[in-house]
């Protein structure tokens, strides 16, 4: 008579049961997770951002922002690329920064990155791109009399939206940096007025 309760038999039977359980729990279909353990942790009872929502008329969970909504810390720029708008910007916009070594240094860095290629080291409109013939249109002088008469807001408008054949830089240069750039252009204009030899070429 076989003793079904012998320790060896119990171990073997347990092993066999576990083996069968393991094998039968395997699933070849990789797209099916099988049974869920704690399904409410997998499937949210709350509406997901992009899920359908029967509670709203348009069936979307995510709401459309109220018209006129702007992102945090974003100041809208409500001007258009035309001469009248530029004059308007000149009257309304005020440079929030004043001339310090820090703001000028930043302005210079931005100028060197984005403007020097066309407008040149001293802002005379003789940058490498134009001087070498790679860029056919003569950039206007930033240190000449015409540009010196421009208001801060007009220069800011020009940098942001571009002017005639010059492209817009509003998407590439942050607002604060555009204002610091205006300060640096003012500096270039001052330098030009100084008698030759006393100019600070830094």
- Footprint of ligand HEC on this chain (CB under 6 A)? 114-115, 117-119, 129, 135, 137, 139-140, 142, 146-147, 150, 155, 158-159, 163-166, 169, 181
State the maximum Cα–Cα separation within the chain, in Å, rounded to a whole number: 121
Alpha-carbon distance 134 to 126, whole Å? 12
Bridge partners of 35, per DSSP, are: none
Least separation in angstroms between CB 61 and ligand HEC: 42
User: Min. distance of Cβ 140 from ligand HEC in angstroms?
Assistant: 4
Whether the Cβ atoms of residue 91 and residue 153 lie closer than 8 Å to each other: yes
Of 93 and 115, which has the nearer Cβ to ligand HEC? 115
Residue among 12 and 128 whose Cβ is closer to ligand HEC: 128
- Rounded-to-integer distance, Cα 188 and Cα 148, Å: 10
- Per the listing, tokens 């920064």 go with 97
Instruction: Considering the complex, state which of residue 169 and residue 186 has its C-beta at the smaller distance from ligand HEC.
Output: 169
Residue with Cβ nearer ligand HEC (87 or 163): 163
In whole angstroms, the minimum distance from the beta carbon of 145 to ligand HEC comes to 9
The tokens describing 55, both together, are 């509670």
What is the DSSP code (8-state) at residue 142?
A: S
């Amino acid at each position: 008579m076989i003793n079904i309760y012998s320790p060896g038999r119990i171990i073997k039977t347990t092993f066999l049961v576990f083996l069968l359980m393991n094998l039968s729990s395997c699933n070849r279909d990789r797209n099916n997770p099988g049974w869920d353990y704690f399904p409410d942790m997998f499937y949210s009872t709350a509406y997901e951002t992009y899920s359908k929502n029967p509670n709203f008329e348009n069936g979307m969970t995510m709401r459309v922002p109220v018209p006129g909504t702007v992102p945090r810390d974003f100041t809208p720029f409500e001007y258009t690329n035309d001469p009248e708008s530029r004059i308007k910007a000149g009257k309304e916009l005020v440079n929030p920064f004043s001339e310090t070594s820090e703001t000028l240094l930043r302005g210079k860095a931005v100028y060197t990155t984005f403007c020097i290629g066309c407008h040149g080291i001293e802002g005379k409109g003789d940058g490498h791109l134009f001087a070498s013939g790679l860029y056919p249109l003569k950039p206007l002088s930033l240190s000449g009399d015409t540009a010196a008469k421009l208001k801060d807001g007009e220069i800011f408008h020009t940098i942001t939206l571009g002017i005639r054949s010059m492209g817009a830089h509003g998407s590439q240069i942050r607002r604060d940096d555009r204002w610091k750039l205006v300060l640096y252009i003012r500096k270039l204009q001052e330098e030009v007025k100084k008698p030759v030899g006393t100019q600070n070429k830094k």
